[in-house]
Structure 1
Amino acid sequence: MSHEFYMQRCFQLASFGEGLVAPNPLVGAVLVHKGEIVSEGFHHQFGGPHAEVAALQNMHDTELLKKSVLYVNLEPCSHFGKTPPCTDLIIEKQIGLVVISNQDPFPQVNGSGIQKLKAAGIEVITGILDQEGKFLNRRFFNFHKVRKPWIILKWAQTNDGFIAPLPENKHERVALISNSESRTLVHHWRSQESAILIGMNTLVSDNPFLNSRMVNGKNPVKIVLGNHRQLPADLNIFQDKNTPVLIYNFSVTEKNENAEWIKLEKNDQVLENLLHDLYNRGLNSLIVEGGTITLSSFINTGLWNEARVFTASHKSGSGIKAPDLPHGKEIRNQVIDTDRLMCLINPENYN
């Protein structure tokens, strides 16, 4: 078997940590002896053991361990954080060869783990499936290199390109555009991301929950952007007291039992300043589910990384047009029951 084969297994293992380890990266590790995987592990939760540690601790034959190759998709850490350095355990276990996909961009690592292993006489191979590894950990890489959350735009549109009824037909909002299978998938996505954002108009008109209730997963931090206004305490987003609600507005900074209000200056840097604040809060990904105005504000400023668009089979004939996304590069196109899902990336914000 090739290095790529075992690295693919690392990716598979790493993905089990989606929605559980942020702001840490997704990491999987396997130990291979004479072409056979003899142990494996992945990072289960933030603050928990790292993937390499799990794989090494699952292997009890110390002599076999010394003859094994360690595969891991991200450079082992070399610093004390919430756990001791993984490099120390690798050196202690006398692993002879470590194969890595990506160097860790985190400033406290950033090549030092690789150098520490080499200084201990361990052979290190890097760059295996490098691009695939970076895409798997795109939120983590973007967070540390660009210092912003990874931004995912999501909306559903009718077959003739409408995202919602016209304001004078507000009663039609009960007619959902996407099917139940698509909506369940969206709740799964929400459980994987750090935060979810809508505009004030969507909050007031739709009264959404912004949670992951259709799947077994965590709820994202709930974010609203728009002009300050008095909001009823019985809005759905306020009912879960365990999930923070951040309301970015242009008037007040205050905090009450329902939400934290953060004042932004009303200028052309509104979104940049909002994203900077989310970065400072350690939120490394954001799914935007607002209406056309909110979505278009991210598109027009180039502040997006991915877009996930559901197109239903039915037409509405009229309504509010869905956003225009002229520069997206399609990476996925699939049918989900009666809907079609298209996923795109912004090539200007991905490398």
Structure 2
Amino acid sequence: MTDAESRAMRRALSLARRGPRGLNPQVGAVILSPSGDELAEGWHRGAGTPHAEIDALTRLTAERGPGAARGTTAVVTLEPCNHTGRTGPCTHALIDAGVARVVYAVDDPGVLSGGGGAHLREAGVDVASGLLRDEGTALLDSWLTVQRLGRPHVTVKWAQSLDGRAAASDGTSQWITGPDARADVHERRAAADAIVVGTGTLLADDPALTARRSDDTLHDHQPRPVVIGTRAVPQDAAVRRHPQPFLQDEGDDLADLLDRLRELGIQRVFVEGGPRLASSFVRAGLVDEVLVYLAPTLLGGDRLATGDLGVSTIGEQRRLAITDLQRLGDDLLVIARPASASTANPTAKD
């Protein structure tokens, strides 16, 4: 792959971020001339709109006339789709336009939408995959999780003392961790599409469930609040003043809840409290990432950070693989994932 293609891929990744996060992936595309000059660019603007490749080809034709794409190279962040949804297959459009070479970063894992690279090769198009794959995967991380597992990516977070307590004996928990750890939590809230708490935590702490900066202003992106439990949310609860309307669910079927959140375009779910809710997600096998904010303090008592995890003997322990350790002021953040990730049949992008 050439330097021009690498530059074009970085540009395509930047373009992809302009598109909305939702049921469809963020994708960018750049069309290069045979000599490596950029001719046109495009990105996907949401479900039902032209995919990035089509957007770029349309712009190229509008500026340079029919046939302008013949012999060009298309640089795309995601493997061109190979199925008909609300729009036609991008592979067919690239072939019909006479594109000679396609370079993409990440393979599409969809059963229906994947396989575009192979189809292009069969049509005589030169195809190269994996250019800036790590950057492309990072961009599409949550969407790829949805495709592979058929549900949103779930992060479960809690703060605890060194002796594993989430609160003092009287139930107070603000604050176990320091300001650096709390600021990190708000950054992660802002990266999520939904934030989930139980009614116990909501009634005890009255959290706003917003993502805030250090000056207490709101981040541009706010996760949708989801409250799990049957108890009524008070009319004066802070969550009712959230920029996004809250959703309440009884929580008797977490897998079904995740399915419904996925249908709403939610890809990243941030489970924040409390111990009973966190344990329910772990017990159901619906956790992809665990964030433990560990404070150098001792609380004692019985207010454990987790409850029943369905572990009755040591052979049933929930093994995790630590992926990162971060020092946040006086606190420590431990990031871990299940040692053996579950998978499900992937679905297709639309």
Same fold, judged at TM 0.5 (above)? yes
Q: Which residue of 1 aligns with 2:332?
A: 340
Residue 95 of structure 1 deviates from its aligned partner by 2.8
Q: Are 1:26 and 2:33 an aligned pair?
A: no
Contact 1:7 1:128 in 2 (8 A): no
- Which one-letter code corresponds to 2:331 in the other structure? D
- Which one-letter code corresponds to 1:149 in the other structure? P
Which sections of structure 2, spanning at least 5 residues, go unmatched?
A: 310-316, 344-350
Aligned sequence identity (%) = 29
- TM-score, normalised relative to structure 2: 0.74
Contact 1:327 1:346 in 2 (8 A): yes
- Which one-letter code corresponds to 2:336 in the other structure? L
Q: Which residue of 1 aligns with 2:239?
A: 237
Q: Which residue of 2 aligns with 1:252?
A: none
SS in structure 1 of the partner of residue 22 of structure 2: coil
Contact 1:198 1:291 in 2 (8 A): yes
Contact 2:161 2:297 in 1 (8 A): yes
Are residues 309 and 283 of structure 1, via their aligned partners in 2, closer, same or farther at CA, if it must alter by over 3 Å? same
* Counterpart-to-counterpart distance in 2, 1:5 and 1:158: 46
SS in structure 2 of the partner of residue 286 of structure 1: strand
* Counterpart-to-counterpart distance in 2, 1:46 and 1:81: 13
Q: Are 1:315 and 2:318 an aligned pair?
A: no
Are residues 155 and 36 of structure 1, via their aligned partners in 2, closer, same or farther at CA, if it must alter by over 3 Å? farther
* Counterpart-to-counterpart distance in 1, 2:40 and 2:15: 11
Matches within 5 A, 1:1-351: 9=10, 13=14, 16=17, 20-30=20-30, 38=38, 43=43, 45-47=45-47, 50-52=51-53, 69-78=73-82, 86-87=90-91, 90-91=94-95, 94-106=98-110, 108-111=112-115, 113-114=116-117, 117-118=120-121, 120-127=123-130, 133-134=136-137, 136-166=139-169, 168=170, 170=171, 172-173=172-173, 175-214=174-213, 215-226=218-229, 228-240=230-242, 243-249=244-250, 266=252, 270-312=253-295, 314-318=296-300, 320-323=303-306, 326-349=318-341
Are residues 38 and 197 of structure 1, via their aligned partners in 2, closer, same or farther at CA, if it must alter by over 3 Å? same
Contact 1:104 1:110 in 2 (8 A): yes
Which sections of structure 1, spanning at least 5 residues, go unmatched?
A: 250-263
- TM-score, normalised relative to structure 1: 0.74
SS in structure 2 of the partner of residue 143 of structure 1: helix
Are residues 121 and 247 of structure 1, via their aligned partners in 2, closer, same or farther at CA, if it must alter by over 3 Å? same
Aligned residues: 324
Q: Is 292-301 or 277-286 further displaced after alignment? A: 277-286
- Which one-letter code corresponds to 2:337 in the other structure? I
Higher relative contact order (CA 8 A, sep 6+): 2
* Counterpart-to-counterpart distance in 1, 2:77 and 2:40: 12
- Which one-letter code corresponds to 2:247 in the other structure? L
